Amino acid sequence: NAGVTQTPKFQVLKTGQSMTLQCAQDMNHNSMYWYRQDPGMGLRLIYYSASEGTTDKGEVPNGYNVSRLNKREFSLRLESAAPSQTSVYFCASSQQGAAVFSYEQYFGPGTRLTVT
């Protein structure tokens, strides 16, 4: 099992360009998440999908859109990139079910994005 995979690993964009970050999990998890991690700020939730067909905003959703393509895949789109979106982006998944285990999240290796 690969767990959670993310592509690309690195990306450099110019201000105003758009791009989509891809995430896939092979653990049959229902819930998926997108976070950004910035120095001194910790992990902040951008969007999440509790189950296939649903998405909800997290703490910092502005400037982003998401698509839950199917149970395995959850993509994050930057429509018009800004330097403030320079960050490391992590996708995670968790299993819905017994309360305790539904909170245990499994993370991908991250996408390092620089917007110039």
Partner 1 sequence: TQLLEQSPQFLSIQEGENLTVYCNSSSVFSSLQWYRQEPGEGPVLLVTVVTGGEVKKLKRLTFQFGDARKDSSLHITAAQPGDTGLYLCAGARYGGSQGNLIFGKGTKLSVKP
Which amino acid type is present at position 25? Answer: Q
Instruction: Return the number of the residue (81 or 110) whose C-beta is nearest partner 1.
Output: 110
Euclidean distance between CA atoms 74 and 56, whole angstroms:
12
Determine the interface stretch with partner 1 among 16-24, 65-73, 78-86, 96-104 (rule: CB under 8 A).
96-104
Euclidean distance between CA atoms 85 and 79, whole angstroms:
11
Q: What binding mask, one character per residue, do residues 48-77 give for partner 1 by CB under 8 A, x or -?
A: x-x-----x-x-------------------
Instruction: Return the number of the residue (19 or 43) whose C-beta is nearest partner 1.
Output: 43
Q: How far is the CB of 15 from partner 1 (least distance, A)?
A: 26
How many CB atoms sit inside 10 A of residue 110's CB? 18
- The alpha carbon dihedral of 83, 34, 20, 1 has a sign of positive
Buried b (16+ CB within 10 A) or exposed e, 53-83: eebeebebbeebebebeebbbbbbebeebee
Residue 81 engages partner 1 in binding (rule: CB under 8 A)? no
Q: Where in 13-52 is the site for partner 1 (CB under 8 A)?
A: 31, 33, 40-45, 48, 50
Q: Which residues bind partner 1 (CB under 8 A)?
A: 4, 31, 33, 40-45, 48, 50, 56, 58, 90, 92, 94, 96, 99-100, 102-110
